[in-house]
Structure 1
Amino acid sequence: MSDAALVTVATAMFAGAIRVSTPFLFVSLGECLTEKSGRINLGLEGTLVFGAMTAYAISYHSGSPWIGVLAAGIAGSLFGALHGAVCRLPRVNDVAIGIALMLFGTGLAFFFGKPYIQPTAPRLPSIDFGFLVSNPQLKEALKINPLFFVGLLVAVAMWWAFKNTRVGLTVRMTGDSAATARAMGTSVDLVRFLATTAGGFLAGVGGAFLSLYYPGSWNEGLSSGQGLMAVALVIFARWNPLACFVAALLFGGAGAIGPALQSVGISQGYHFFNAAPYILTLIIMIASTSPKRSLKGAPGELTLMK
């Protein structure tokens, strides 16, 4: 491979990593917040898909993609609130409820989203940092969606809040020991309900990115399991919001390998490279079978820790 081809591949992977990582980032941060409170929400895949459909539909009818993003977040928070409310009932398993809501959210999105497969909705803009470089390929790669920077700010804010604020300490205490939280006068159910609702909001925003920016359309195969992969990403990040950002970039880079190679005419093994995020997820889940290693740092109240 020539030097020019290497530059092209590296540039394409850089741009692709940022684009592909953004929905991973929002969903993983939502799941990180939820799990920090001691609850797992596998329903974020359905939340992501429904958020994508909602964002596209509202953007189409309102003419504003940012209103679509807000609507997607609100839709996601409703799914999160539903998950949190059901899980407050006695003898309810949060993993089972999450799977049920994943199927419900996906099915609901497909049902209401059929009229929006063909119409074109206004898309989210990008911030052009191309003026910083002279290379035409880098100029194109440096067109970055604002939601990427919002996700980075959310990751930093969550990391800081968990370490330095009373709210963050309460969420962590609830996730580590429900008995201790109750002894301190904290409503465990309320904390987990609010954390799950906020986590759903972030997942819905991640869905809005998919339909309104990259790939920038609504169809029934839009997500490709990114909501479920976010659970593996959170485990890989050891429940650290900043590490979630780095892990999202890693997953995004893995997802960008195939298109990057195709940009220089390498199509052999294209589908194998497209499977890289799924292979990475499988490796992480296999590694997580060792509680002494991969689950170190996990909140003690999680279902997978019991």
Structure 2
Amino acid sequence: MSDAILTVLIAMLGGAIRVSTPFMFVALGECLTEKSGRVNLGLEGTLVMGAMVAYAASYHTGSPWLGVLAAGVAGSALGAMHGSICGLPKVNDVAVGIAMMLFGVGLAFFFGKPYIQPTAPRLDSIPLGFWSDNVNLKSALQVNPLFFVGIVVALVLAWALRNTRWGLVVRTVGDSAPAARAMGISVNLVRLLTTTVGGFLAGVGGAFLSLSYPGSWNQGLSSGQGLMAVALVIFARWSPVRCVYAALLFGAAGAIGPSLQSIGVTQGYYFFNAAPYILTLIIMIATSSATHSARDMPGELSMAK
């Protein structure tokens, strides 16, 4: 029994690291966007588009890192499009986000059909379990470099939002657009830039899906991770560092089903695979009226008004 529990825990550790990485990038992108007072529900489409572009670029160039860069550029383009449309008068950012989600997913499916069968070069993982003789632990500690990149991005973003003039401008725009305008800040420009950078991060998250885990391009790749990232940001109370912790929690929840299956537990397999979605629902209910979330929420968000 103890060996089975250890196997499950190791599998959940590996799953948490792998599954959390795209969550992390999308959540950090959404966290930055919401810090400026805008919600981008289109990041699901950006994630899928990033996955397709990364796979296509890796296939044609032979370099998965060029694929990651191409995914970020594609995500930036969708983010800039979202930001530009939302900058128009009397435009609802939530409605635009839903439209952009459908647009991004549809575009990725249309242009991605030729890349469903071919095999593209994948991102190599770092074998951090070299010191152990445990095969399961070695497998769990095959960590993709993008995981560490995401942690660095979170730390840099958290520091910049607290300690730089740029961070002060973003937070001011997110808390009070009239105050920002009174200071001579272009609210639309700041939100356009943050939405563009947020799209870049979401595109990189998509690259992880197609070039690392699960490591292929198909039309069911995302499974709603872009939308769940919005709940993750609320749960993290708009903190980049807490987004990393929340992403690991979501990743561990997503790894429950495969972990139990690895020791032969198949009863209720599909229920355990639904754990991330159940967790999302619980978080949304738990934080919908929480006073601490209301206190940390940027004042310009539509949900705060």
- Determine if the TM-score, normalized by the shorter chain, exceeds 0.5: yes
TM-score, L = length of structure 2:
0.99
Which segment drifts farther, 131-140 or 89-98?
131-140
**Is 1:110 paired with 2:109?**
yes
2:244 — aligned with what?
245
The aligned residue for residue 74 of structure 1 is 73
For residues 54-73 of structure 1, the aligned pairs below 5 Å read: 54-73=53-72
2:10 maps to 1:17: no
Equivalenced residue count is: 305
Q: Would the aligned equivalents of 1:126 and 1:145 in 2 still touch at CA under 8 Å?
A: yes
Question: Given that residues 287 and 294 in structure 1 are in contact (C-alpha distance below 8 angstroms), is that contact kept between their aligned partners in structure 2?
Answer: no
Residue of structure 2 in register with 1:180 after alignment: 179
SS of match in other structure, 2:122: coil
Map of 1:165 onto structure 2: 164
- Contact 1:88 1:189 survives alignment (8 Å): yes
Q: Give the whole-Å Cα distance in 2 for the aligned partners of 1:107 and 1:77.
A: 17
The 5 A counterparts of 1:1-306 are 2-290=1-289, 292-306=291-305
3-state SS of 1:119 partner: coil
Note the residue ranges of structure 2 that are not aligned, 5 or more in a row. none
The C-alpha deviation readout for 1:133-161, integer Å capped at 9, x for no partner, is 23222112111000000000000011111
2:291 aligns to what SS in structure 1?
coil
- Tell me how far apart the structure 2 counterparts of residues 265 and 72 of structure 1 sit (CA, whole Å): 37
Distance 1:132 1:82 in 2: 47
Secondary structure, counterpart of 1:174 in structure 2: helix
5+ residue gaps, structure 1, are none
Tell me by how many angstroms 1:8 deviates. Answer: 0.8
Maintained 8 Å contact 1:176/1:299: yes
**What is the aligned-residue RMSD (CA, Å)?**
0.8
Name the CA distance, whole Å, in 2 between partners of 1:284 and 1:77: 29
Shift of 1:296: 2.8
**2:295 counterpart SS class:** coil
Match for 1:56: what amino acid?
A: Y
Q: In the TM superposition, what whole-angstrom CA distance separates every residue of 1:39-71 from its partner, at most 9, and x where no partner exists?
A: 000000000000000000111111111000000
Q: Aligned letter for 2:92?
A: N
Instruction: Report how far residue 292 of structure 1 moved.
Output: 2.9
Contact persistence 1:235–1:295 (CA under 8 A): no
Scaled by the length of structure 1, what TM-score is found?
Answer: 0.98
Q: Distance in 1 between matches of 2:58 and 2:132?
A: 33
- The C-alpha deviation readout for 1:250-279, integer Å capped at 9, x for no partner, is 000000000000000001111000000000
For 1:133 and 1:300, the matched residues in 2 are separated by: 49
Which region of structure 1 is more displaced relative to structure 2, 230-239 or 277-286?
A: 277-286
Q: Which amino acid aligns with 1:295?
A: A
Moved over 3 A (4+): none
Question: Could you tell me how far apart the structure 2 residues matched to 1:109 and 1:158 are?
Answer: 29
Measured after TM superposition, the shift of residue 291 of structure 1 is: 5.5
SS at match of 2:109: helix
> Residue 237 of structure 1 contacts residue 247 of structure 1 at CA under 8 Å; is this kept in 2?
yes
Letter in 1 for 2:80: A
Q: CA separation in 1, counterparts of 2:287 and 2:92?
A: 21
Do the aligned partners of 1:262 and 1:270 also contact (CA within 8 Å) in 2?
yes
User: In 1, Cα distance between the equivalents of 2:224 and 2:71?
Assistant: 18
Q: Deviations over 1:158-177 (max 9, x none)?
A: 11111111111110111000
